[in-house]
Every structure is written in structure tokens, then in C-alpha cells.
Chains A and B, each alone.
Chain A
Amino acid sequence: MAIATTELKQRIIEALNLQDITPEQIDDEAPLFGTGLGLDSIDALELVVMLEKHYGIVIKDIEEGRPAFRSVRTLADFIEARRPAV
């Protein structure tokens, strides 16, 4: 089953300590980095940690995660594809 993007957004907000931002305000398709939420390279690394902690997905090379970090949608798809079988 595809993971709920609302839950993912909540995890992003918590992992990155985004103030005054609710999951509803984040568009599934909007870019996470640069414009959009304005995240940077440190946030990308923090998301790598979040993926390991909550979804058991280990990313060794940050380049490998780059396409997945484009938007909440691409990240949800990436988690879905890489999630270890429970």
C-alpha cells in the first residue's frame, strides 16, 4: 500500500523543525529544495536520517537520493519502492 503523503509531510516537518508549517500547506508536487520549502543540503542529509529511522531505508550516497528528494510525491514513491518487506 502506498504510504500516506500526509504522514510523510508530518515526518518532514518534525525532522527539519519547520516552524509554522502544516502538512496541508505542503503541495505533493512542489519542489522541496531551492524554491518551494526552501530546504538546503543539510536538510537533505537530515531527510536521509529520517528515512533510515522511520522507514528503514539506508542511503549510502546522497546522489542516490537526489531524484527522490524532488517533491513529497517522488519521496513517497521512493519509500514505497525501497521499503524493506515487513
Chain B
Amino acid sequence: MRNNTTTTSAALAGWGLVCATGNGASPLRDALQHNRSALAVDSRFSRALFQTNLVGAAPQEVTDDPAWQFATTALHEAVRASESILRTIPAERLGLVLSTTKANIEALERIADGRACSMVARRHLQADLLAADLAAEFGARGPVQNVSNACVSGLIALVQGAKLIRRGVADAVLVIGVDHLSAFVVSGFSTLKAIDPDGCRPFDQNRCGLSPGEAGAAVLLVRADLAAPQSVYIRGWGSSNDANHMTGPSRDGAGLAQAIRVALRASGLAPTQIDYINAHGTGTQYNDAMESAALLSVFGAAIPPVSGLKGMFGHTLGAAGVLETIACAMSLQEKFLPGTPRLEHVAAGFPASLIKTPRRAPHLKRILKLNTGFGGMNGALILEQA
């Protein structure tokens, strides 16, 4: 695989997004550079009914079809950003991979409550129909897939997109991750007592839960030889399962360590060749401890700089892998390492290389991106700038 990286791997040709930091890539870049948290009180949620009202909400009016709204906002920007390449791709060679855990769950709430809900919004309860409608809207007549691997979905969707290109069935693939804030999901995490009422603090000694978030995040993947010079490439990946517990990650991090090792091997890289790690970092007790254990197991005493971004925009579930990969691509292009918003005191025993605030990194070349999810799933993706 690595011998002909230029023709069989995939590059990120452009992206677009909407999340708590705002509409579009540039407010996110700004938030990353200033380590700003965009978590805020949202009147849709009350502390009487939910564990928190502090969430990562996208600044858009709430409709009956937020999944479509966020996905199309992100896709329009990604398409604009990669227009010159996209113009050269025949519609039959353009694929689309949707990543979502709950699709348009808003429709279920509205129907249950007897509130107005359009037929289209109802149709988008089904991830496959949402994917088909997005493909039609954006002229993707090649292969269309959806991925629903819990909170690893976004990362796996990027992998699926890269595979479509590697298999030669598409020259370019729109990868779109989307999940929206809902009473459904926030109540669920509340019943699991998994939320930090005062906002998540990934890797902090006082961390006690996640912050719910929402996003649409889109990337246009293209066959590497079609990409502009200096593009960010997907170098390799690995995934695994803890086979341990439905919600609790393994204590020793063996599953995530396995995924990282597979990704390194598939990329033909040694651990020392990774410059920065963008963690999953939900802010729950067990996730962050598990990730730390996995990093220690793979990298030993030489863990590269690590940070996590969920203190900035919350846990965006099915969008997380795509959104956080976009943040990584920005970091590679602009040569800086993002910090860990809301992290104050690194917990004892966690990597000493955890970084709280952004720093310049002129030689940044390779990033290891991690995500984990319910059902014991782990994913590792290696990004590289040519």
C-alpha cells in the first residue's frame, strides 16, 4: 500500500463545517488558535430535566430537520472550498459517505409530542435515506454509504471514503458527519450520569463527564494524485473492539492500543514518527484514563504532544471524527498544535505531554487521530502533510 501512496491513498481537498464555534471553517480556526471554549447555556435544556444546560450548540435556528440543515451547510462550504478539483470529477466517480449516530432524531421527538414535522424531516430519521438525499443534492452519483459506529463513526466514514478511492470505484468522496443536539440524546447521557454539569474537562484531575455537542462536518476526499501540493493525506488507519463492556471502555486501553498499532503498521511508521496526537478525550473518568493507558502502552515514555478538543465544541458524536480531523488538517497546514480547552490540572499518571494551550509547531508533519465509542469500538487514523 505504502509503495504507491500517491495513486491509491486519499487526500483532503477541502472541508466545511458548522459547530458550536460558528458557521464555517474560519471561526473554528480562530477558536483553535485562541483555545476558546464555545460551550454555552442553551435554553432548550433545563437542569431540572437534564444533567446540564451547558452544551455545544451550533448557531442556527432550530428546524424540524437539523440533520439536513447542518449537513448541507457543511457540504456547501466543502464543495466551494474544493471547487477547482470537484469540477474535474464526473458525477459517477463522486461518492458520498454519511456518518451519523442519530440522523434526524428531531423528527421522532416532534411526532411523539404531536408537533409539526414535515415528511422530509421524518424521512431523514433513516440514515440511508438521509445519505441518498444528500448524494442527490450534491450530485454524487457514485457509491453512497452510511456509517453508524457510535462515536467512532466519523473516523470510520473517512476510512470508508478512502477505501472507495483505493478500490478504484470513486475518484472523490464527500464524507459528511452529522449529529444534532436533542432532548433524546441529552436525556440519554443524563440517565447514564455521563455529563459534567459544569462543562467537560478532558484529562483534568476533576473531570466527571462529557458535554453534549452538535455539528455538521464535511470533507472532500480525492485520489491523492488529483490533490494540490501540500495537501493533507490519509496515511493509514486501524480499528478494533475491546470485547469487554457496552459502555465502559477497557481499563487497560488494550483495544485502543491495538488500533493504534495496526494504524502505524499499515502506514509503515514507527511510533517516533508521530508528531502530535489528537485524542478522543470525552472528559469522562474512564475514557480519558483508558486513552492515557493506551498511549503509554504504545509510546512508552516518549508520548508525543497530546490534546483534545471536546472542551471547545462538545462531543459531537457521529460528526466528531470528521470535525476533529478537520481541526487536525488545519493544524498541519498552519503548523500549530491545538490545546485542550477547559483542561486545568492534568490528572496524575496521565501523559506529561498533554498540552493545555496551543503552540507553534513548524515541523508538524504527522498526526494520530483517535476516537472511541460505545460498544467497545476504537479507531486510529494517521494524517500526513506531503
Let me know if chains A and B touch directly in the complex, using CB atoms closer than 8 Å: yes
Question: CB of A40 within 8 A of chain B?
Answer: yes
How distant is the Cα of A72 from the Cα of B245 in the complex, in angstroms?
24
Chain A residue contacts of B245, Cβ below 8 A:
40
Q: Is A85 an interface residue (CB 8 A)?
A: no
B34 at the interface (CB under 8 A from A): no
Q: Give every chain B residue within 8 A of A41 (Cβ-Cβ).
A: 247-248
Minimum C-beta distance from B162 to chain A (A): 34
From 162 to 213 in chain B, residues with beta carbon under 8 angstroms from any chain A beta carbon are: 191-193
CA distance A61 to B209 in the complex (A): 12
Taking a contact as CB atoms under 8 Å apart, the answer to whether A42 and B246 are in contact is yes
Q: How far is the CB of B310 from chain A (nearest CB, A)?
A: 21
- Docked complex Cα distance between A42 and B245 (Å): 10
Q: When the two chains form the complex, which single residue of B193, B246, B247, B248 contacts A62, counting CB atoms closer than 8 Å?
A: B193
Question: By the criterion CB–CB under 8 Å, are B247 and A42 in contact?
Answer: yes
Q: Is A15 an interface residue (CB 8 A)?
A: no
Whether, in the assembled complex, A50 has its beta carbon less than 8 Å from a beta carbon of chain B, the answer is no
1/0 contact string of A50-76 vs chain B (CB within 8 Å): 000000000001100000000000000
A18 at the interface (CB under 8 A from B): no
Which of chain B's residues has its CB closest to A46's CB? B191
Q: Once A and B bind, how many residue pairs between them come within 8 Å at the CB atom?
A: 13
> In the complex, A42 Cα to B246 Cα: how many Å?
9
Within the assembled complex, what's the spacing in Å between the Cα atoms of A45 and B191?
Answer: 7
C-alpha spacing A65/B192, complex, angstroms: 14
Q: By the criterion of a CB under 8 Å from any partner CB, how many residues of chain B are at the interface?
A: 7
Which residue on chain A has the smallest CB distance to residue B247? A42
Which of A40, A41, A62 has the most chain B CB within a 10 Å cutoff?
A41
Of the candidates B191, B192, B193, B247, the one having the most CB atoms from chain A within 10 angstroms of its own CB is B193
Judged by a CB distance under 8 angstroms, whether A13 is at the interface is no
Determine the chain A residues whose CB is within 8 A of the CB of B191 once the complex forms: 45, 49
What's the nearest-Cβ distance from chain B to residue A62, in Å? 5
Cβ–Cβ contact B193 & A45, under 8 A: yes
Nearest B residue (CB) for A49 = B191
Q: Which of B190-246 contact A (CB under 8 A)?
A: 191-193, 245-246
Tell me, in angstroms, the Cα distance from A5 to B248 when the chains sit together. Answer: 30
Closest to A63 in B: B193
Q: Which of A40, A45, A61 is close to B192, meaning CB atoms less than 8 Å apart?
A: A45
Return chain A residues, CB-CB under 8 Å to B246. 42
CA gap between A62 and B191 in the complex, in Å: 10
Taking CB atoms, residues of chain B closer than 8 Å to A49 are 191
Interchain CA distance A53-B191 in the complex, whole Å? 13
Q: Whose C-beta in chain B lies nearest to the C-beta of A44?
A: B193
Contact flags (1/0) for B115-134 with A, using CB distance below 8 Å?
Answer: 00000000000000000000
> Which A residues between 15 and 64 are near B, CB-CB below 8 angstroms?
40-42, 45, 49, 61-62
Cα(A42)–Cα(B248), bound, Å? 9
A62 and B285 alpha carbons, distance in the complex (Å): 14
* Inter-chain contacts of B248 with A (CB < 8 A): 40-41
Interchain nearest-CB distance for A29 vs B (Å): 27
Q: Mark B241-263, 1 if CB is under 8 A from A, else 0.
A: 00001111000000000000000
Determine the distance from Cα of A61 to Cα of B191 in the docked complex, in whole angstroms. Answer: 11
| Chain A residues within 8 Å of B247, by CB | 41-42
**11 A–B contacts, CB within 8 A, in A order:** A40-B245, A40-B248, A41-B247, A42-B192, A42-B246, A42-B247, A45-B191, A45-B192, A45-B193, A49-B191, A62-B193
Residues of B within 8 A of A (CB): 191-193, 245-248
Report, nearest first, the 9 A-B pairs whose CB atoms are least far apart: A62-B193, A41-B248, A45-B192, A42-B247, A45-B191, A45-B193, A42-B246, A49-B191, A40-B245
Known contacts A42-B192, A42-B247, A45-B192, then 10 further A-B pairs from the complex at CB < 8 Å, ordered by chain A residue: A40-B245, A40-B248, A41-B247, A41-B248, A42-B246, A45-B191, A45-B193, A49-B191, A61-B193, A62-B193
